[in-house]
Structure 1
Amino acid sequence: MTRGTSSGIVLDLDNPPGDPGLFGPHAVCWRVHADFPAMLAGGVSALLLQALHPLALAGVWDHSSFRIDMQGRLGRTAQFIAGTTYGCRADAERLIARVRQIHAGIQGIAPDGRPYRADDPHLLTWVHVAEVSSFMAAYLRHVNPSLSAAEQDQYYAETAHIAAALGAIAIPRSRQEVAGYIERMRPELIADARAHDVAQRLLNLSSGHLAALPAIRILTAAGTQLLPPWASAMLGLDTARLRWRALGMPAVAGMLRWSLTNSAAQRARRRMAQT
């Protein structure tokens, strides 16, 4: 079975037999990225963190429809992560090349008058770190809080290869380096009107299925709980209300895990088992 992505690339997670892709089943990222509910919450946290950098936000604000299709944005990120983590090597490399091609055509002037480019290595590093630190925070909270420090460092070292392939530089490759990097970036972060708009849109995602709306609200609230306290404060989030709403995360996560029987991770493991 193949699956198309928004990049136009068709992923075949079932073939070729035995192809380990960029990482292989023993990689820590195969474990961290396998839990769909945690990755959804991590994706929300990542978008909120990314939105605090006005130049990183300007690129998607000016050149995409994410404001009216926030779920689509989350879905595209999920497709890229699934393809580069679990896809065969050829598909993963095609995805990376396609994203680089898209980034090369995105440039403009931010509201503060500064020029930006989507392929700016400095911005690419910020986007990457916001993502992987959020995914790790979600995994530790919702899947395995006992993941060792060495395994966490390995995760950051593994995923740094994707960031480097996309053009990022000076990429942190350990827990300590990630924490230090985020702290150094704080003076560049601003909770402007655009960042607040992103937060409100994320926290008020709609759904064509009313029955799914409570689960969506719980997942987005769980994502806010992964943010550093200073980021929540910058965005003016109602942390008490969101913390109460996020209490439903174990039930929602359990339901999603039960319903997923053919995930990217499962298909990749079956591919690796073929001889």
Structure 2
Amino acid sequence: MLSDVREQLGRALFHRVAGPEGPARRARIHGSPGPRWFGPERPIRTVHGDASMFVGGLSALLLQSLHPLAMAAVAEHSGYRGDPWGRLQRTSTFLAVTTYGTAADAQRAVDRVRGIHQRVRGTTAGGAPYHAADPHLLGWVHASETDSFLRAHERYGARPLDAAGYDGYVADTARIAEALGVADPPRDRRELAERLAAYRPELRVTAEARAAARFLLLRPPVPLAARPFYGVLAANAVSLLPSWARALLRLPRVPLVEDITVRPAGLALTRTIRWAMNPPPPPPPD
């Protein structure tokens, strides 16, 4: 039965993204009474609740890797190779709690992350010091993530927002960024573009960044049966990157192939994910 396939696929995807405690966490996040940072009308709820986040999240990881200090911190402290699904589940839980959870739970999630950031420090292979709590470094992670999620939703979202809506999304994410310690985060799309441009002189491809790209694009931690679907996800994540980022990563653009095959396949994949993870409500009782 098609409904059984839908249920099994949705359950498998949710388990991967949210982990074994996902259902209980989801019930708490959405069901706990109390004020929220963002009301149901806010753009952040629309963007973060869409299947386009699968593409945007992978694209964000590739883009973030271009800052040598951020990449060194990830390579040395995140354990993304040894426990990639655990890292994904922790990230998705943080996004869910801060987007949909109560204000108290959102603040507790932010406090936990800030505590982790305080402990993450070291030096790059070239001897440059880094500290994950550095507001400037946090600003890069925030700007690159926000831009990637926005780009993904604009291209693959079920209901793309208008210009004012995407400005509102950037303003919403600034609320979380400030709580994490980012100084003066961008508040609209123009400021976001300016902020990304300001970071460009600091960006380059390190050995750690190349290793991360190989891991994410060529050696993903997924079963062989799922590799073709992950390949579609990865190709669309790459196509979402700004042209300058692709050039740094040496990921060339092939316009005809991307326009005719990659993007349509990405749209089909995100529709399938959306179909599986957002089943229709049960019919009303007689």
Q: Counterpart of 1:198?
A: 212
Residue 142 and residue 4 in structure 1: after superposition, are their counterparts in 2 closer, same or farther (change >3 A)? closer
TM-score by length of 2: 0.82
Q: Counterpart of 1:252?
A: 269
Between stretches 238-247 and 183-192, larger displacement belongs to 238-247
Could you say what the CA RMSD is over the residues aligned between the two structures, in angstroms? 2.5
Question: Is 1:170 aligned with 2:184?
Answer: yes
Question: Is 1:23 aligned with 2:38?
Answer: yes
| Amino-acid identity (%) | 43
Question: Is 1:142 aligned with 2:156?
Answer: yes
Between stretches 66-75 and 192-201, larger displacement belongs to 66-75
In 1: Cα distance, 2:236 partner to 2:74 partner: 24
1:3-56 C-alpha deviation (Å, 9 max, x unpaired): 7799xx956124224x352101011101111112x1011111111111000011
Q: Counterpart of 2:87?
A: 73
1:87-129 C-alpha deviation (Å, 9 max, x unpaired): 1222211111110111111100112211110100000111001
In 2: Cα distance, 1:93 partner to 1:220 partner: 33
Unaligned runs of 5+ in 2: 1-17, 282-286
Residue 123 and residue 207 in structure 1: after superposition, are their counterparts in 2 closer, same or farther (change >3 A)? closer
Residue 40 and residue 145 in structure 1: after superposition, are their counterparts in 2 closer, same or farther (change >3 A)? same
Question: Is 1:230 aligned with 2:244?
Answer: yes
* 2:227 counterpart (208, 213, 217): 213
Shift of 1:170: 2.3
Residue 92 and residue 213 in structure 1: after superposition, are their counterparts in 2 closer, same or farther (change >3 A)? same
Instruction: State the number of aligned residues.
Output: 258
Q: Counterpart of 1:53?
A: 67
In 1: Cα distance, 2:251 partner to 2:159 partner: 25
In 2: Cα distance, 1:91 partner to 1:153 partner: 26
Residue 140 and residue 86 in structure 1: after superposition, are their counterparts in 2 closer, same or farther (change >3 A)? same
Q: 2:19, 2:86 within 8 Å by CA — same for their partners in 1?
A: no
1:154-173 C-alpha deviation (Å, 9 max, x unpaired): 11111101010001112111
In 2: Cα distance, 1:207 partner to 1:118 partner: 26
Q: Counterpart of 1:126?
A: 140
Point out the structure with max Rg over C-alpha: 2
Q: Counterpart of 1:272?
A: none
Q: Counterpart of 1:13?
A: 29
In 1: Cα distance, 2:127 partner to 2:279 partner: 47
1:216-256 C-alpha deviation (Å, 9 max, x unpaired): 11112111111100100100114339834454112211211
Q: 2:139, 2:183 within 8 Å by CA — same for their partners in 1?
A: yes
In 2: Cα distance, 1:39 partner to 1:21 partner: 21
Question: Is 1:112 aligned with 2:126?
Answer: yes
Residue 191 and residue 48 in structure 1: after superposition, are their counterparts in 2 closer, same or farther (change >3 A)? same
In 1: Cα distance, 2:71 partner to 2:247 partner: 19
Shift of 1:58: 1.1
Residue 61 and residue 146 in structure 1: after superposition, are their counterparts in 2 closer, same or farther (change >3 A)? closer
4+ residue stretches of structure 1 with deviation over 4 A? 3-6
TM-score by length of 1: 0.86
Q: Counterpart of 1:160?
A: 174
Q: 2:78, 2:87 within 8 Å by CA — same for their partners in 1?
A: no
Q: 2:29, 2:96 within 8 Å by CA — same for their partners in 1?
A: no
Q: 1:50, 1:126 within 8 Å by CA — same for their partners in 2?
A: yes
In 2: Cα distance, 1:192 partner to 1:142 partner: 30
Shift of 1:207: 4.6
Q: 1:103, 1:118 within 8 Å by CA — same for their partners in 2?
A: yes
Question: Is 1:39 aligned with 2:53?
Answer: yes
Q: 1:5, 1:76 within 8 Å by CA — same for their partners in 2?
A: no
Q: 2:84, 2:221 within 8 Å by CA — same for their partners in 1?
A: no
Q: Name the structure where helix makes up a greater proportion of residues.
A: 2
Residue 89 and residue 115 in structure 1: after superposition, are their counterparts in 2 closer, same or farther (change >3 A)? same
Query: Secondary structure of 1:196's partner?
Result: helix
